[in-house]
């Protein structure tokens, strides 16, 4: 399969997911929509990653309009699609759901629970019913009309599926330690960088196991439809 990695900057790339895609013998094509414009067609699956911009900043980042159109077209075409953090937020917005600033920035590991639909889902169901998820976000999405809520926590919904083959997640299953600490160094989160580093070091090994499981489940769905 050919998998499109749609990115929004150098610190928000495929990372762990890139390893899984390569190990499974698929081709990963990275495309920065900010600088390269709309990607070509013909991919078997698409993963849209994070970024330090937000829904609602289209005046500063006009390419967001292209991203919304692309997301709608991929869902309409039943292209297997996974949106991560900003990718999940742009997917939610593209289908009419609000994306808004959280009361408190989320940073580090937070508890997440799958819904009954999440447990039964072919992608999110690869994760435990309750797990600690690595997050780094100041905004959160609501669930689009007609979409299925798959995971949540007290701060914001954490995952949804729209249609049969499109998923949005708020957490970062692809992230590596140094990548995340670089985000926090730039964002100045409410906790110290030293405290966050200690927390990430304690949980990153298990988190990578879950990230691999999620990516593999998504690729299995994509392969079954390609």
Round to whole Å and give the CA distance between 25 and 2: 10
For 17-28, how does the pLDDT look when each residue is reduced to its tens digit (9 = 90+)? 999 999 999 999
Q: Are strands 157-162 and 148-152 parallel, antiparallel or unpaired?
A: antiparallel
Structure confidence at residue 139 (pLDDT): 95
Span 56-68, mean pLDDT? Answer: 97
Round to whole Å and give the CA distance between 109 and 152: 14
Place of tokens 């692309």: 70
Q: Please state the domain extents for the chain.
A: 2-225
Would you say residue 185 has pLDDT above 90? no
Q: How many CA atoms lie within 13 A of 166 on its CB side?
A: 25
Structure confidence at residue 199 (pLDDT): 95
Containing 4, the helix (H) or strand (E) segment is: strand 2-7
Task: Provide, rounded to the nearest whole percent, the portion of the chain with pLDDT above 70.
Answer: 100
Q: How confident is the model at residue 216 (pLDDT cuts 50, 70, 90)?
A: very high
Whole-structure pTM value: 0.97
What fold, for 2-225? Rossmann fold (3.40.50)
Structure confidence at residue 104 (pLDDT): 86
Where in 115-215 does DSSP place strands (E)? 130-141, 148-152, 157-162, 166-169
Q: Quote the mean pLDDT of the chain.
A: 96
Structure confidence at residue 68 (pLDDT): 98
């Amino acid at each position: 399969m050919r998998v499109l990695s749609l990115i929004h900057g150098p610190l928000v790339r495929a990372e762990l997911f890139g390893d899984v895609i390569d190990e499974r013998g698929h081709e990963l094509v990275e495309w920065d929509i900010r600088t390269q414009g709309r990607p070509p067609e013909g991919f078997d699956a698409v993963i849209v990653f994070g970024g330090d911009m937000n829904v609602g900043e289209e005046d500063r980042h006009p390419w967001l309009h292209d991203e919304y159109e692309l997301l709608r077209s991929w869902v309409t075409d039943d292209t297997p699609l996974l949106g991560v953090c900003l990718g999940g937020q742009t997917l939610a917005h593209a289908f009419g759901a609000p994306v808004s600033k959280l009361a408190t920035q989320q940073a580090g590991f937070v508890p997440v629970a799958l819904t009954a639909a999440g447990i039964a889902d072919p992608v999110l169901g690869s994760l435990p019913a309750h797990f600690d998820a690595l997050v780094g976000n100041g905004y959160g999405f609501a669930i689009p009309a007609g979409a299925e809520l798959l995971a949540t926590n007290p701060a914001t919904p954490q995952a949804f599926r729209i249609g049969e083959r499109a998923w949005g997640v708020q957490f970062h299953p692809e992230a590596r330690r140094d990548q995340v600490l670089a985000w926090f160094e730039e964002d100045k989160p409410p906790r110290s960088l030293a405290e966050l580093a200690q927390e990430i070091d304690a949980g990153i090994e298990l988190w990578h196991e879950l990230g691999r499981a999620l990516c593999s489940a998504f690729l299995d769905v994509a392969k079954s439809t390609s």
